Amino acid sequence: MDRIKIVADRNIPFLKGVFEPYADVDYVDGREISSKDIKDADALVIRTRTKCNASLLDGTSVSMIATATIGTDHIDFGYCAAHGIEVHNAQGCNAGGVMQYVFSALYGTASRKSLKLSHDDVIGIVGVGNVGRRVEQMARHIGFKVLRCDPPRAEREGQEGFCSLEYLLMNSRVVTLHTPLDETTRGMADENFFNMIRPGAFFINTSRGEVVVEDALMDAIPKLGPVIIDTWNNEPDINTELVDMVDIATPHIAGYSYQGKLNGTASSVQAVARHFGIEPLYGFVPAGDGPDMQPVHLDLKGMNQGEITSVLQYNYPIFTDDFMLRMDPSSFERLRSEYRYRREICIG
């Protein structure tokens, strides 16, 4: 097989050295990858910071794009389809990390504000894909009631088990967003959304910043309970006024677990390998760092709020990430690229 050329985001972990026996590999900062860099490249291995559209891809030889992320809003699928470019994303790779973030944030902010969480409370999940399902699983494990809003899934599977967005917002103590960013979700959390939300509700966004109209959120904060924001409009140039107003502000790292990064890289490598017929990498999984970084198995059933809070904060002290961003919001990209991946939790 002829050697191929791959251009990869240098910040993708566990990748260096993997393709080199079979390909020529250039590592470039994801935000700086240009048409010149990829003119004679066969494949791109990227994260969300590389915008794959006509301005980047025209005149290049790229036939494969693998993104080591769940999200795909940085990729122009229409252009890729028209030009025969295969696109692969790492579906579900960081679902466990986001679930861990949501519950560490939920219990952490409740503790700081002396708010009681009850098993009668309802967690409303907007978007019930890979991530939303993991959040639902943990919520039910702890004992919460759950409402689910996911119109595309409801259309495919039937309405049973799903509800309208209006009903969810009016009846949920916690509202957590896990939608992709597309034409149906951009600006979804707008003034009307926050007018419908239950007063005092927790609001959590770990999906995409542009799902939320930030001015509408800022106007609504006085009526809301704790507000937890990991994804922002205009990253990395985020709204520092909003940072000061919310209870937890983090630099788009909800999914930055050790296992999530292993999964994302494995998925991307396997996809590129299959596209180009690199058989030794069809089942590639990064070696990792041994048993000390294996997921932590928890059984939270029957624990009281203080016990659950203590266990979750011990495994992921989320306020450290919040503190680091508040100290210097301009360090958003550096905090992401230098993040020390945390060990995931799982139930059972």
| Residue pair 77/57 in contact by the 8 Å Cβ criterion | no
* Helix/strand/coil percentages in the chain, nearest 5: 40, 15, 40
Quote the tokens at residue 142: 């702890």
Out of 3.40.50.300, 3.40.50.720, 3.40.50.410, 1.20.1070.10, which CATH number does the structure's domain 4-89 have?
A: 3.40.50.720
What is the pLDDT averaged over residues 302-308? 96
Sequence letter at residue 222: P
| Residue pair 276/24 in contact by the 8 Å Cβ criterion | no
Quote the tokens at residue 300: 């939270």
pLDDT tops 90 at residue 172: yes
Find the DSSP H helices in 77-160.
77-82, 95-112, 130-142, 151-157
Sequence letter at residue 217: L
Q: What's the pLDDT band for 71 if we cut at 50, 70, 90?
A: confident
Q: What's the pLDDT band for 159 if we cut at 50, 70, 90?
A: confident
| CA–CA gap between residue 44 and residue 249 (Å, rounded) | 31
Note the pLDDT tens digit of each residue in 123-156.
Answer: 999 999 999 999 999 999 999 999 999 999 999 9
The Cα angle at residue 332 between residues 90 and 322, in degrees rounded to 5: 95
pLDDT tops 80 at residue 293: no
pLDDT tops 90 at residue 330: yes
Between 251 and 73, the higher pLDDT residue? 251
| Residue pair 108/248 in contact by the 8 Å Cβ criterion | yes
Q: What's the pLDDT band for 291 if we cut at 50, 70, 90?
A: low
Q: Cα dist. 131→193, 313, 325 in Å? A: 22, 20, 24
Mean confidence (pLDDT) of the chain: 95
Domain boundaries, the chain: 4-89, 95-255+299-347
The reply to whether domains 4-89 and 95-255+299-347 share a CATH topology is: yes
Q: At what angle do helices 95-112 and 130-142 cross, to 10 degrees?
A: 50
| CA–CA gap between residue 216 and residue 218 (Å, rounded) | 5
Looking at the domain 95-255+299-347, which fold is it? Rossmann fold (3.40.50)
pLDDT tops 70 at residue 70: yes
Q: What are phi and psi of 111, to 5 degrees?
A: -65, -45
Please list the active-site residues.
208, 235, 252
Largest CA distance in the chain: 63
| Residue pair 15/21 in contact by the 8 Å Cβ criterion | no
Q: What's the pTM? A: 0.92
| Sign of the torsion formed by the C-alpha atoms of 291, 296, 297 and 299 | positive
What is the pLDDT averaged over residues 100-122? 97
